[in-house]
Amino acid sequence: MKKETLKYQKYLDEIENVGILKISSFKPNIESSRLVSSLKKQTKEMKIDMKLKEEELNKYKKNIKFTRIREIQVKIFNNESNLFR
């Protein structure tokens, strides 16, 4: 099973690197085609999920920056109001 998995991984790496199906050591069959298709689908879903997570992270980063700016503005306002007292 592990040999087969390594074989499929090598196959996918070659496809990704070369971009075409020119592999002499591997003869795909129906089962391997399904596996490749499934792995491609999984990869696509993971890339989409990663983009969503990055967007969410950026949103939180911006929110944190905004919050820090507001805190500084409030401190400045308090300092200035104390000066006028």
State pLDDT tens for residues 19-48. 555 545 556 677 778 888 888 999 999 999
> Are 12 and 36 spatial neighbours (Cβ–Cβ below 8 Å)?
yes
pLDDT recorded at residue 59: 85
Q: Encode pLDDT of 44-69 as tens digits.
A: 999 999 999 989 888 888 888 888 88
Task: Please state, in angstroms and rounded to a whole number, the distance separating the CA atoms of residues 28 and 35.
Answer: 10
Average pLDDT of the chain is 78
> Are 66 and 74 spatial neighbours (Cβ–Cβ below 8 Å)?
no
Neighbours of 31 (CB within 10 A): 9
